[in-house]
Structure 1
Amino acid sequence: MTVNQEQATWFAEAFGQVVSNLDRAIVGKQHVIKLVLTTLFSQGHVLLEDFPGTGKTVLAKALARTIDGRNSRIQFTPDLLPSDVTGTMIFDQAAGKFDFHPGPIFASVVLADEINRASPKTQSALLEVMEEQHITVDGTRHDVESPFIVIATQNPVEQAGTYKLPEAQLDRFLMKTGLGYPDHQTTVALLKDSANRARADAVDPILRPDTVIAMQQLAAKVHVDDSILEYVSQLVTATRVDRDVTLGVSMRGALALTRAARTWAISQGRGYVTPDDVRELAEPVLAHRLIVDPESEFAGTSAGDIIGRILIDIAPPQYRTA
């Protein structure tokens, strides 16, 4: 069952309203907002690699308010335990039994701040919940909230005392992007409004959680032509044989790009994916999944450069609708 034009138009209008709503809190970063929302409606998670003070916490809080969900923030430190993330069993003396006390992972929007500062064991606990959407304690399954998105952050500087995320764990993030510093005009506007220390509170709830789930289900039905699937396969294969790449994009990455392209297409009011949708999302979805050859990286070649070169070398299929 494919998406009709009426459904696509409704999705695009709702998507646009959410972008405008979040733009009240995160000014001048509409493209990043669209990427984060695309991740949400694709039922994925996003990794923000950015400097401190660029608005990552505000973004998470504003997104939670927008979808009328709960927000939690986990500050990752070297002494953080897996149970500090997922929750633990505590003995209730009055009842004479152990009760499960859920951790901060049980929220609609979870901000995992500086994820690379926690031990690999704690990182793995978070990433397991991201993948499975539940945890099991003493044989009892506990499902996380729905919708559910983890916005993890890591600082590109100050790497001392950090634990780099292994490639297999990076692969579990649908996208990697960053907010970056605001431009001059936006900076001046924010300085004029410096008395407002709670910008996320200005955001209104405009979507119910069940509406978000319905939009996720609708995005998954967007039509993808066989020629587009072949194009995605060609892009992924090219990363595996590129001279500057040690490890290319996995099958999970190809699936992630297809899912994200579906959501991006319907956010534009279309019920079908075009090559431009794939090209627009190729770098944020694929770049962090590459391992660049150390010599090439030392020479200044980045994963983004490699994806850009591949997009130039491989011709997209002819434009074709459903």
Structure 2
Amino acid sequence: MLTGTAANHHRSSPIVAIVKAARKRAQEGPGINLKMSRMRPANMPYTTATSSLSSQGYCLLQQHFSPSQLSALKREAEQLIERHYNRENLAAHSVYPSDSTETRVSHAMMISSGPSPFPKVAHDNCPTVDKLLRDHNELLQEISGSAVDPGARCMLNYQNYFSGSKPVGEHFDGEYMRAQKAEDGIEFKLLEGILPRYVGVLVIANQNRGKGTELVDNASKAVHRPRMDPGDLLLFDNLRLRHRVPTMEQPRTTIGLRNFDHQAVHFAASETDFLADDYREIPEGWVSNSVDCRARFAAFMRDEWPQMQADYQHYF
């Protein structure tokens, strides 16, 4: 629900008619595919996306980024990886250990538009990445009804899947403070963490006839497999839907976005890790909206991360 200034803007928006049409279409299928062949990130249909996310849990914006923008994002993301993936940033926890196999490589780093007290990397001279970040924050503001602090950190996750890549098991995205990985190395159990409320996935390249991210509805168990081609942007509710990636027969490249400082929630697999009184149950655990996730992350960085670094020595 929108409140205050955001609600007033919503009522006076010139695209209210589009919103009403979107709500009607949302009742007719598992999601909304909005074809925006001439649309650019500066004109994202924020209110339409809000309607679809509310009714279905996800929204797919087709052809939302142009080929030239995709090329720029790929180039800038790879520049950021080359610039920031080093021992110092891994130890600082501003970049995350590279998940690298023969068939899949994933890099993740924290960025923000403004200053933050938490670890992050600079993205100077990367205007397309900066534009993507700002657009993402504007969309979150429309969805949540509250302004996104410029210093709110967003994880930029650049992933390359190669032919025959192993599947990624069903999961919630998050800052995994404690987790257990299964013997097969695919599935894992989250014990405690901070979950971003929403997740975005932008397709840079895909040779798998649109095959990619699969969304699993926690309540109905329905599985949504939206076709995702280059330039398509998928936005989904990270609590309502878990996601997975099947084996990719051909190469696929994506950029994921997750804001960890704007309305993130605390996850606990056991009541022994509860930090508040308002937890509600989701698959494999509980989440709370009232926990101060920034304070919990500060405590994690101060008390737990220094001891955990030993588990990541093979990355340093």
State the TM-score, normalized to the length of structure 2.
0.28
The structure with the largest alpha-carbon Rg is: 1
State the TM-score, normalized to the length of structure 1.
0.27
Hey, which of these two has a bigger chunk of strand by percent?
A: 2
Q: Greater relative contact order (Cα 8 A, min sep 6): structure 1 or 2?
A: 1
Hey, which of these two has a bigger chunk of helix by percent?
A: 1
